Structure 1
Amino acid sequence: MSREQWRELAREVLRRSGVDAASPEEAMATATYDGITLAPLYDAADLPAGPGLPSAAGREPGRPWEVRQRHETADPEAVMTDLENGADSLWLAVAPEDLPRVLDGVLLDLISIVLDAGPRTGQAAEALLALAGDRAGALRGCLGADPLGHAARSGAAPDLSGLGRLARLCADRLPGMRAITVDATPYHEAGGSDAEELGCSIATGLAYLRALTEDGIAAGEAFGLLEFRYAATADQFATIAKLRAARLLWARVAEVCDAPPAQYQHAVTSAAMMTRRDPYTNMLRTTLACFAAGVGGADAVTVRPFDDALGLPDDFSRRIARNTSTLLVEEAHVARTFDPAGGSWYVERRTADLAEQAWAWFQEIETAGGMTAARGLVADRLAATRARRARDLARLRPPIVGVSRYPDPAGSPPARAHAPRPAEGALPRVRHAQDFEDLRDLADDARPRVFLATLGPAGEHAARLAFARGLFEAGGVETVTGAPGDFAASGAAVACLCAGDRRYAAEAADAAALLREAGARWIWLAGRDRYDGVDAHLYAGCDVLGVLRTTLSEVTA
């Protein structure tokens, strides 16, 4: 089939949907938060110019990614259980004095270890060195120094002065360890786009390279002391393109510095996409994200437990998290193929476009003086993207399954022990479902109810009735259905009319008057047309959060 034949078929489908489009590509295109246009169809003409993208490829073929489990509390039993059941890497966000207990009995030379001790990284490194003893030369992993990432998390002033000492410690006594983590996930969790996350990571990596070379570390050696951490989301193609683009960008920096182009990548399933309500759907999100990270070539992958947003994981959720990687590696053979997305017209184009946008953002940061000087610029840029994303999420673009779409009205989150509370920082930590879940929490206390007043036979109102019910249930609002005359006995204070357009034209105004006489404080109508007595409307694409907030306000008035 030629592209023109596809266009004719697409025009016909659009015409049947009520869209008269001269260009189906434009009518069906979507745009990302980075301004990249995603077309409905790609062919060889969309491939980026040049000889190809070999530097976008990641892990060498046949080598599986490290299954890296995160531990935020000193629980040696949980650590040992992970290592005995599939994990081969530990990410330890514990205090340096807890390391001897956490690693008691662990064969340190058989796994990789990543420390996450913030400003106490030097102490954690010394504690690990003491534990390793004469096996220190066999240790693998990363000491995890990341002063700029810590500053983004905590709001503290970044101090890069100790990076050279840690680099020399690795060179002299820990040759298998990297010294520095470039953690880009704070920018993702603050609501940033993919290009913003990438640009911040490259600017951060360059800041660390400058600090190391100024301290006497050769550029080629400095490149090998860094590893990069990125968020992996359930948007699999976005994640694949992001990891591939990250390697392209870093290879560009390496070329200028005459250094090896490789970038070691640690992908972490996104904290922003996790939900508290209906948390079991998070298993699907993290599986998609893990798959995308593997296809994108990540060297290590951390799958967040499905109950991550609720607190500390239990044994079952930790098991599911590590088994997600194991299943994809051992049964699905995702790691067997080298750069499986390479050569895809769509993925190659998206990778190149994303790299271009990220490089432009990186240059803005550099023009502003680098990551240390541009913290205000970065915060403002992320805030703008965060606001745009929030507006879209309020309109169910995209919907969040189990929360804003198909919620379980009777479901309640499982109880979990509280996780260590992160410090308030320079950048906020947001979850996409947070606003909807906050409303559900309010509704749990208020037990609000809306009366869905139907007009005409079921065939006329069924679609709008189902739409309105799902919308209100996303805010934890109970719905009761009946004819307008049944409102007084329903115990509700808010009503919503549900019918077809012809029925509305004949009966909506009278039905609204009847509801108002029966005591309705606020009357919605499922549809866009205006009628006397109706206060506001709900429809596909409306501000669902606004509808729910107004409803809760009227119910609890």
Structure 2
Amino acid sequence: MTVPREEPGTDGGLAPPASSGEDLDLAAGFPQVDRDHWRELVRTVLSRSGAATADTPLAEIEEPLTHRGYDGVAAAPLYTAEDAVPARPGLPAHLREIRPDEEGLAGWDVRQRHVHPDPAVVRAAVLADLQNGGTSVWLRLGDGGVPVAGLPEVLADVLLDLAPVVLDAGTRTEEAAEAFFTVIAERDAAAQVMGGLGADPLGLAARTGSAPETGSAAALAVRCAREFPRLRAITVDATVHHDAGGGDAHELGGALAAGVAYLRAMTDAGLSVDEAFAQLEFRYAATADQFRTIAKLRAARRLWARVAEVSGAAEGALRLHAVTSEPMMTRRDPWVNMLRTTVACFAAGVGGADAVTVAPFDARLGLPDDFARRIARNTQTLLLEESSLARVADPAGGSWYVERLTEDLARAAWDWFTEIERAGGFATALESGLIAGRLAGAWERRRADLAHRRAPLTGVSEFPNPAERLPERAPAPAPAGGGLPRIHYAQDFEALRDRADRHAAATGTRPRVFLAVLGPVAAHTARETFAANLFQAGGVETVSGPPAEFTGGPGAVACLCSSDKIYAEQAVDAARELTAAGAVQVWLAGKGEYDGVAGRLFAGCDAVGVLRTTLDDLGVAP
């Protein structure tokens, strides 16, 4: 099969179908305004804050308010009919497939993941899931999961004609597939069994650094196409790009390149184009960035429809599995993960996922307990049953913001896909370091935003709970590594918290910073609270009082907290007093320059750098 390699910058056939019918003008009864009038009003507001001047050209006024993703795709502050991209759900653009269930209502597959190494425990957990809202099973087998030999025991209570089973066996995919085929044969369920074998050698190579190859996956696809009409052999796991720090367009373009590589391998192995398309499922990450997740999933459908079109496939529908993001999950204040996964699940449903997996809130702590698994299931049940989210086809369709963001993500992803293709395809781009380099660049940009708290993490970098007691969980099997990194957004702050905790456990005393408050309460409270929040994000305890109460001592650190007016009158003397009392470092909450003040804390400062320096000054071991 030949998939044309198109140059970036062309539309690549991505233009949506023209709209039909008459448009309803909802603004007909309101005064007419234009974008430049809005820009003039915005310029006036920005001028007051110093972000613009009265001479700033109107064409440039939106730039300070534009947010760019880590793939370079911009989200503007305003979208109007000028940004509209005509599209209709379920038609050629394939932005959202409409898949009614037996009752005539659209829905998605509630797919829970199981990684516990004990087959008996997994068997009970699978049964609990299927009896309480789950509709399919996702099993990690082999290294880092259930032993392959335990598969028959795990599936003993599963009706294979009702509950799809998806395998994830890594290096032991072929062995796991044979074990699954044996179970199917024993139950005479070849025609009814649903799910997938999870073969993804390219994704495995990206995760482990192994040599990429597609022949074994293609052979499994041929067997499935011939013997198991409802079973898919290959999963294109795009989360490997997300887990390494990539942006949404990187995830989309990388998945597209891997999917095309598998299509070529399958057609070379003897499958028709349509048979090859039917053997693929795609897995994407859903994050708490609601609108980008919605747009990403919509763009994924559109991009794959384009591949189907140029490949000559009769049907270009995409089977899409959304998984709540692993990098966004935190070990600290893990209960906040319930909020993150709820938003991500909502976005996955609105974006049109065919199957959704919600990670339990305690997944970063180890093996989830029954309560965490129940909450993960019920998150989906609430959105499906109580919120009726799946009863609407393409709920975001028609939003100028979402439609334009979908369009921009699709084009950026197509450019990245064609760059990978020009480099020789997914396997070559992976081996050359092209993919790793692009993802690393995106991660460094995100990491800087996290460190400066431009991308805040509730309960970690913002509003930490120094007195929290984390739930205890049994260790989870380690996932495969050795290839692209697995990052977590909270990792730098969590490492600092761990460092402070080890010090407290070893010495009986938590690292401490003295907040030297100046002037009346009304003058210092805001910056005192800001400084305490920042230091506590690194596991550092704070105590407050006037400079005279500072007792000093070896390795003592202090931070001045007050208003700019009082700083001008008292900061230099207060810093001198604190240094004389033994402070090795004097910080100031604000941006002023004063003698005796070595560093400043302010909104947008490098919080990770401040905390590392503070722990070093306090004599806390790395």
TM range (shorter): over 0.9
> What is the one-letter code of the residue matched to 2:179?
A
SS at match of 1:188: helix
Segment drifting more, 398-407 vs 169-178: 169-178
1:230 to 284, 297, 302: 284
C-alpha deviation, 1:354, in angstroms: 0.4
Q: Deviations over 1:106-152 (max 9, x none)?
A: 21211011011123222222222222231221011111100011111
- Answer whether contact 2:127 2:158 (CA < 8 A) is retained: yes
1:439 to 2:496 alignment = yes
Q: Assess, with a 3 A threshold, how the Cα gap between structure 1 residues 51 and 320 changes in structure 2: closer, same or farther.
A: closer
- Answer whether contact 1:58 1:244 (CA < 8 A) is retained: no
Distance in 2 of aligned mates of 1:186 and 1:135:
32
1:519 to 2:582 alignment = yes
1:419 corresponds to which residue? 476
- Answer whether contact 2:106 2:392 (CA < 8 A) is retained: no
- Answer whether contact 2:452 2:604 (CA < 8 A) is retained: yes
C-alpha deviation, 1:158, in angstroms: 1.8
C-alpha deviation, 1:9, in angstroms: 3.9
1:67 to 2:99 alignment = no
C-alpha deviation, 1:51, in angstroms: 8.5
Distance in 1 of aligned mates of 2:535 and 2:408:
39
- Answer whether contact 1:403 1:433 (CA < 8 A) is retained: yes
What are the equivalent positions in structure 2 for 1:378-393 lying under 5 Å apart?
Answer: 378-393=435-450
Distance in 2 of aligned mates of 1:11 and 1:138:
63
- Answer whether contact 1:233 1:285 (CA < 8 A) is retained: yes
SS at match of 2:551: helix
Q: Deviations over 1:60-118 (max 9, x none)?
A: 35321100000012321111111111101100102321111111122121101101112
What are the equivalent positions in structure 2 for 1:144-293 lying under 5 Å apart?
Answer: 144-259=198-313, 260-293=315-348
2:5 corresponds to which residue? none
SS at match of 1:144: strand
2:392 to 326, 337, 348: 337
Distance in 1 of aligned mates of 2:511 and 2:614:
8
- Answer whether contact 1:277 1:412 (CA < 8 A) is retained: no
Q: Deviations over 1:387-440 (max 9, x none)?
A: 111111000121000000011110132111100012322111011001101100
Q: Assess, with a 3 A threshold, how the Cα gap between structure 1 residues 121 and 467 changes in structure 2: closer, same or farther.
A: same
Segment drifting more, 224-233 vs 22-31: 22-31
1:10 corresponds to which residue? 42
Distance in 1 of aligned mates of 2:70 and 2:45:
28
- Answer whether contact 2:497 2:538 (CA < 8 A) is retained: yes
SS at match of 1:119: helix
Segment drifting more, 191-200 vs 130-139: 130-139
1:360 to 404, 415, 420: 415
> What is the one-letter code of the residue matched to 1:300?
A
Distance in 2 of aligned mates of 1:372 and 1:20:
47
Distance in 1 of aligned mates of 2:552 and 2:607:
27
1:35 corresponds to which residue? 72
1:106 corresponds to which residue? 158
1:56 to 2:108 alignment = no
- Answer whether contact 1:181 1:226 (CA < 8 A) is retained: yes
Segment drifting more, 78-87 vs 417-426: 417-426
- Answer whether contact 1:451 1:492 (CA < 8 A) is retained: no
SS at match of 1:228: strand
Distance in 2 of aligned mates of 1:49 and 1:489:
67
Q: Assess, with a 3 A threshold, how the Cα gap between structure 1 residues 403 and 51 changes in structure 2: closer, same or farther.
A: closer
Percentage of matched positions with identical amino acids: 58
C-alpha deviation, 1:554, in angstroms: 0.5
Distance in 1 of aligned mates of 2:352 and 2:88:
20
C-alpha deviation, 1:26, in angstroms: 2.7
Segment drifting more, 355-364 vs 159-168: 159-168
1:542 corresponds to which residue? 605
C-alpha deviation, 1:517, in angstroms: 0.7
2:133 corresponds to which residue? 86
C-alpha deviation, 1:18, in angstroms: 4.1
1:429 to 469, 486, 490: 486
SS at match of 2:335: helix
- Answer whether contact 2:123 2:157 (CA < 8 A) is retained: no
- Answer whether contact 1:59 1:298 (CA < 8 A) is retained: no
C-alpha deviation, 1:219, in angstroms: 0.9
What are the equivalent positions in structure 2 for 1:373-522 lying under 5 Å apart?
Answer: 373-375=428-430, 376-446=433-503, 447-488=510-551, 493-522=556-585
2:25 corresponds to which residue? none
Distance in 2 of aligned mates of 1:322 and 1:48:
35
SS at match of 2:177: helix
- Answer whether contact 1:59 1:299 (CA < 8 A) is retained: no
> What is the one-letter code of the residue matched to 1:101?
E
Q: Assess, with a 3 A threshold, how the Cα gap between structure 1 residues 77 and 49 changes in structure 2: closer, same or farther.
A: closer
> What is the one-letter code of the residue matched to 1:79?
V
1:300 to 2:355 alignment = yes
1:45 to 2:82 alignment = yes
> What is the one-letter code of the residue matched to 1:497?
L
C-alpha deviation, 1:16, in angstroms: 4.2
Q: Deviations over 1:220-257 (max 9, x none)?
A: 11001000000000011000000011111111111011
SS at match of 1:266: strand
Q: Deviations over 1:522-545 (max 9, x none)?
A: 111111111111111111110000
SS at match of 1:139: coil
SS at match of 1:452: strand
SS at match of 2:110: strand
> What is the one-letter code of the residue matched to 1:57?
R
C-alpha deviation, 1:383, in angstroms: 0.8
Segment drifting more, 356-365 vs 457-466: 457-466
C-alpha deviation, 1:547, in angstroms: 0.2
> What is the one-letter code of the residue matched to 2:400?
W
- Answer whether contact 1:480 1:490 (CA < 8 A) is retained: no
C-alpha deviation, 1:5, in angstroms: 4.6
SS at match of 1:109: coil
- Answer whether contact 2:110 2:355 (CA < 8 A) is retained: yes
SS at match of 1:81: helix
- Answer whether contact 2:365 2:473 (CA < 8 A) is retained: yes
- Answer whether contact 2:323 2:356 (CA < 8 A) is retained: yes
Distance in 2 of aligned mates of 1:378 and 1:181:
19
Q: How many residues get paired?
A: 557
**C-alpha RMSD of matched pairs (Å):** 1.7
2:10 corresponds to which residue? none
- Answer whether contact 1:451 1:490 (CA < 8 A) is retained: no
- Answer whether contact 2:203 2:236 (CA < 8 A) is retained: yes
> What is the one-letter code of the residue matched to 1:43?
T
Q: Assess, with a 3 A threshold, how the Cα gap between structure 1 residues 119 and 464 changes in structure 2: closer, same or farther.
A: same
Distance in 1 of aligned mates of 2:563 and 2:132:
57
TM-score, normalized by length of structure 1? 0.97
C-alpha deviation, 1:489, in angstroms: 6.4
- Answer whether contact 2:263 2:277 (CA < 8 A) is retained: yes
TM-score, normalized by length of structure 2? 0.87
Q: Deviations over 1:6-49 (max 9, x none)?
A: 33443443344444454442332222222222111111110237
SS at match of 1:115: strand
1:121 to 167, 173, 177: 173
- Answer whether contact 1:146 1:181 (CA < 8 A) is retained: yes
